[in-house]
Amino acid sequence: DSGVTQTPKHLITATGQRVTLRCSPRSGDLSVYWYQQSLDQGLQFLIHYYNGEERAKGNILERFSAQQFPDLHSELNLSSLELGDSALYFCASSGIAGGRETQYFGPGTRLLVL
Amino acid sequence: GENVEQHPSTLSVQEGDSAVIKCTYSDSASNYFPWYKQELGKRPQLIIDIRSNVGEKKDQRIAVTLNKTAKHFSLHITETQPEDSAVYFCAASRRGNLIFGKGTKLSVKP
């Protein structure tokens, strides 16, 4: 167990809908990262938050957004869902800003868009 | 931006043999290179990592080597066991944002 929790574990929804994925980092970690893993794209970095502030964006679609709250948990919002958004969504947390950061992954949320 | 290439995409070895997975990266400023193991349907788990000021690091049957000049790094697993079967991902990072290779599916045959 990495200490990173994600809810829900599974999510089934329809095209056009909106969902929210939740992540709680390890105790004391200030950084949260979101990744998307699909069969043909591997692990894609989406976005990084540090202590409530956005630090970096990767291949994140405009239909997706995220935020990190004062208690350091983070939410990833996916809207206007398309079939191609079906994937595993992981969050990871780390404890050191800049430099070396060992990231610990949560168990993931499996999203299926029908 | 950073780009990480990983080879091979699949690797099959006999139990007890060694396995080598290679990655190249494009951003010379990258300074942290972790390797993750992911079993089917589970989260990626860190197995070993190396910083750019170190050329080699070993942890029991696992070792990683880094060649900064050539911008490539490799994972070596010796005395492979069936439980080593999984997908292995390399990654490169400069400011904590990991850019992953596409993964290598390792199968260890008993």
Scanning every residue of chain B, which has its alpha carbon at the shortest distance from the alpha carbon of A100? B32
Asked if A103 and B42 come within 8 Å (Cβ–Cβ), the reply is no
Please tell me whether the peptide bond between A8 and the residue prior to it is cis, using omega within 30 degrees of 0.
yes
Distance from CA of A42 to the nearest CA of B (A): 5
Does the CB of A33 have a partner CB in chain B at under 8 Å?
yes
pLDDT tens, per residue, chain B with 110 residues: 789 999 999 999 999 999 999 999 999 999 999 999 999 889 999 999 998 888 999 999 999 999 999 999 999 999 999 999 999 999 998 777 889 999 999 999 99
Q: What is the bridge-based pairing of β-strands A109-113 and B10-14? A: unpaired
Please, which residues 51-110 of chain A have a Cβ atom closer than 8 Å to chain B?
55-56, 58, 90, 94, 96-108
Does the CB of A38 have a partner CB in chain B at under 8 Å?
no
Give the DSSP letter of residue A80: S
Scanning every residue of chain A, which has its alpha carbon at the shortest distance from the alpha carbon of B3? A44
* Tokens matching residue A30: 């200030």
Query: What is the 3-state secondary structure of chain B?
Result: CCCEEEECCEEEEECCCCEEEEEEECCCCCCEEEEEEECCCCCCEEEEEEECCCCEEEECCEEEEEECCCCEEEEEECCCCHHHCEEEEEEEECCCCCEECCCEEEEEEC
> pLDDT tens for residues A60-114?
999 999 999 999 999 999 999 999 999 999 999 998 544 457 899 999 999 999 9
Size of interface A-B (CB pairs under 8 A): 64
